[in-house]
């Protein structure tokens, strides 16, 4: 579903790569957790996958479409929610959702069914007619999630999706992610909450200083570290500390 081949990115004026030679394969029907300390390159990688940043080197393939050569088809397969979803404040919630629905070509009955489902689930039905600028941060997050799921994307990409959600919404959202992959779709998300990643993800990738330092299922990661009883948190700390030391 998602392939990254030797992807690198260096920001203008920066003295080191934000992401370097990243190789990653995410399969259809899995929840993939993308972990790493602050500034490791998670958001940069996600922005490159969704076409908000251009990779300096390498190839990104989404659902069989090369992002550089055919960005429109690649983006058709993606539903994206950034870590801080700034939405047009002067549109109403329903106007924003209809914009997404029209652009992604979601037909009327399907749109009505999905809106009914997600708006009810996220308790946004009463606020859907209000301007987005009157929403709280959590409500905007839920509206962005609804928008990203409206066209049932084959690849659902989220940057820190749990931030700003109340416990009930976070719980619902985890169920949505599982439901989404059960239909054969893929979820790729970054998070700092290792407990969520450990419980929810089929596979995780750990990035540090722009490079992928570990990737696989929890069992595979434990085996590679030769410590079978290690929690993801302990594993994460060991791996990223190693990376930091190597970096020094």
Partner 1 sequence: MVTTMGNRLKSLYLALLNVHYGWSAGKYYYFKKKQRIWEPLVLVVALAPAAVMAVWFLWSMTDKLFLAGLAYGEPHLSLAYGALMVAVLTLFFGFFYVLSAFYFSSDLEILVPLPFKSWEILVAKLGVVLTGQYVINTLLLLPIWIRYGLLAGVGVDYVLSALVVFLTLPILPLVLASLFTVVLMRFTNLSRHKDRLTLIGGILFVVVVLGFQLWMQNNIGDGDPEAFLEQVLIQTDGLVRIVGRVFPTSVWAAQAMAYSYSAQGWLRLFYLVLASAVGLGVLYLLGERVFLQGVVAGLEGSKQGASRAVDWKSPQVRPAFWTLVNTEIRLFVRDPGFALNGLIGYILLPVMAILPLFAKNLSENPFEFLTQQEWPPLLLIGGVALFFMVMTSMSMIPTTTFSREGKYLWIIRSMPLSIQEIIFTRVVASQIVNTLGCLLGLLPVAHLFGWSVFTIIIGTLLGVFLATALACLLIILDLSRPMLDWVNPIKAVKSNLNAIVGLFGSMLLTFGLGALFYWNFQAGQLWLVPLELLLACAVLAFLGLLLLSRFAPKQWQSIEGGI
The residue behind tokens 């009327």 is 108
Q: How far is the CB of 208 from partner 1 (least distance, A)?
A: 23
- Strands 65-66 and 19-26, sheet pairing: unpaired
Angle at 24 between CA 156 and CA 37, to 5 degrees: 80
Report whether 163 contacts 196 (CB < 8 A): no
Tell me: does residue 161 bind partner 1 (CB under 8 A): no
The CA distance from 122 to 176, in Å, is 11
Site string for partner 1, 106-145 (x = CB under 8 A): xxx--xx--xx--x-----xxxxxxx--x-----------
Q: How far is the CB of 79 from partner 1 (least distance, A)?
A: 9
Residue closer to partner 1 (CB basis): 1 or 50? 50
Tell me: does residue 87 bind partner 1 (CB under 8 A): yes
Q: How far is the CB of 92 from partner 1 (least distance, A)?
A: 7
Q: How far is the CB of 161 from partner 1 (least distance, A)?
A: 15
* H helix or E strand, kind and range, residue 235: helix 232-247
The CA distance from 79 to 201, in Å, is 18
Which positions from 27 through 86 interact with partner 1, judged by CB under 8 A? 47, 50-54, 68, 71-76, 78, 80, 82, 84, 86
Residue closer to partner 1 (CB basis): 62 or 235? 62
The CA distance from 165 to 121, in Å, is 13
Q: For the chain, what is the radius of gyration of the CA atoms?
A: 18
* H helix or E strand, kind and range, residue 100: helix 93-103
Query: What letter does residue 41 receive in the DSSP assignment?
Result: S
Token pair belonging to 123: 């308790």
**Which residue from 3, 8, 98, 225 is in contact with partner 1, where contact means CB under 8 A?**
98
Q: Which stretch binds partner 1 (CB under 8 A): 21-29, 99-107, 176-184, 191-199?
A: 99-107
Residues found near partner 1 in the complex (CB under 8 A): 11-13, 47, 50-54, 68, 71-76, 78, 80, 82, 84, 86-88, 90-95, 97-108, 111-112, 115-116, 119, 125-131, 134
């Amino acid at each position: 579903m998602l392939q990254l081949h030797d992807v690198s990115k260096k920001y203008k004026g920066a003295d080191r790569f934000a992401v370097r030679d990243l190789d990653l394969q995410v399969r259809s029907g899995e929840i993939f957790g993308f972990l790493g300390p602050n500034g490791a390159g998670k958001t940069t990688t996600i922005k490159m996958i969704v076409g908000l940043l251009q990779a300096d080197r390498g190839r990104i393939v989404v659902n069989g479409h090369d992002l550089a050569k055919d960005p429109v088809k690649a983006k058709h397969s993606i539903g994206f929610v950034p870590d801080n979803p700034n939405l047009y404040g002067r549109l109403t919630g329903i106007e924003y959702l209809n914009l997404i629905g029209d652009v992604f070509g979601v037909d009327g009955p399907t749109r009505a069914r999905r809106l009914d489902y997600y708006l009810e689930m996220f308790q946004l039905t009463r606020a859907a007619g209000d301007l987005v600028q009157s929403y709280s941060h959590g409500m905007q997050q839920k509206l962005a999630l609804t928008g990203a799921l409206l066209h049932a994307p084959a690849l659902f990409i989220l940057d820190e999706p749990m931030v700003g959600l109340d416990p009930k919404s976070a719980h619902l959202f985890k169920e949505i992610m599982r439901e989404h992959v059960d239909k054969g779709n893929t979820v790729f998300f970054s998070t700092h909450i290792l407990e969520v990643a450990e419980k929810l993800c089929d596979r995780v990738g750990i990035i540090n200083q722009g490079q992928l330092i570990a990737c696989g299922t929890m069992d595979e990661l434990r085996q590679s570290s030769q410590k079978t009883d290690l929690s993801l948190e302990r594993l994460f700390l060991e791996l990223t500390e190693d990376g930091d030391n190597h970096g020094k």
